[in-house]
Amino acid sequence: MNWSISKLKEMGKVSLRGSYWNAVLVSIIMLLTLPEAAGTADTVQESVRNSGFDITVIITVLGGLGGAGFIATLLRVFLLNPLQIGCRRFFVEDLYSPVDLTFLQAGFSPNYWNVVKIKFFESLFITLWTLLLIVPGIVKAYEYRMVDYLLADYPDMPMEEAFARSRQMMQGEKMNAFWLDLSFLGWWILTLFTAGLLGVFYVSPYKNLTDAALYAALSDKMRNGG
């Protein structure tokens, strides 16, 4: 499947029309699992997080030795990260036909501890690269962008394979994925003028389904030896 930004965004729009309210609900759940959701709803940060770059995890890790920070870290590692995997699974399945919310359980499958471990190390690696230099951290975030989707499809996948396959899928695609994210900038700016409502009820589910379409396109490319 040869992909283009316009093709992926059209897939996202079509899928959203077929399961609008479920997609909105799952997008809200994803938003609520983010550390910054405890404060004001910064929809620009949400866009960055959906691209795989969780800058707020730095704050969580650095504050992890404090009581509230430690509890927040545990909550993220053992509950919110697996829930995000379930959300990714929902959007991948919903891309082709409307599905129910049972797919949100995907991150809590019998392979729960594998999901917890891989997500922990993914965040740790990105954090360490970001602490070294911001740009390498962003590059690593794009390199690991497919890890969530791979875990959603294959929760028993070993950590080394998940990282390696994500790197392979994103080889030569990181800049293309960046332009895909940037193509939503206008929507996020408009969201700021609607007190976040446009993001909640349209942009976030549209973006999440478009990201799922990117995963589908890159998976197809891998299968065809592209």
Q: Provide the residue type at 217 as one letter.
A: A
Q: What is the mean pLDDT of the chain?
A: 86
Query: Is the residue at 225 inside a domain?
Result: no
What 139-143 contacts at long range (C-beta under 8 Å, 24+ apart), as own/partner pairs, is: 139/174, 141/51, 141/52, 141/53, 141/54, 142/51, 142/52, 142/53, 142/170, 142/174, 142/177, 142/178, 143/167, 143/170, 143/174
Query: Is the residue at 172 inside a domain?
Result: yes
Give rounded-to-5 percent helix, strand, coil for the chain: 80, 0, 20
Task: Quick: pLDDT tens for 181-222.
Answer: 999 999 999 999 999 999 999 999 999 999 999 999 999 999
Reported residue count of the chain is 226
Parent domain of 82: 5-219
Q: Provide the residue type at 3 as one letter.
A: W
Query: Is the residue at 207 inside a domain?
Result: yes
Distance CA 53, CA 114 (A): 21
Task: State the pLDDT at residue 172.
Answer: 95
Distance CA 192, CA 44 (A): 9
Find, among 27, 17, 2, the residue nearest to 95 by Cα.
17
Distance CA 224, CA 226 (A): 6
The pTM is what?
0.84
SS3 69: helix
Find, among 2, 9, 12, 52, the residue nearest to 218 by Cα.
2
Query: Is the residue at 76 inside a domain?
Result: yes
Find, among 43, 38, 18, the residue nearest to 200 by Cα.
43
Query: Is the residue at 52 inside a domain?
Result: yes
Instruction: Compute CA distances 114 → 38, 40, 82, 119, 209, whole Å.
Output: 27, 32, 10, 9, 25
pLDDT band, residue 52 (cuts 50/70/90): very low
- Mean pLDDT in residue range 141-151: 96
Q: Which residues contact 118 (CB under 8 A, 6 or more apart)?
A: 147, 151, 157, 159, 162
Query: Is the residue at 226 inside a domain?
Result: no
Task: Quick: pLDDT tens for 17-51.
Answer: 999 999 999 999 998 876 544 443 344 344 444 44
Number of domains in the chain: 1
Query: Is the residue at 224 inside a domain?
Result: no
Query: Is the residue at 177 inside a domain?
Result: yes
SS3 110: coil
Task: Quick: pLDDT tens for 64-91.
Answer: 445 567 788 888 899 999 999 999 999 9
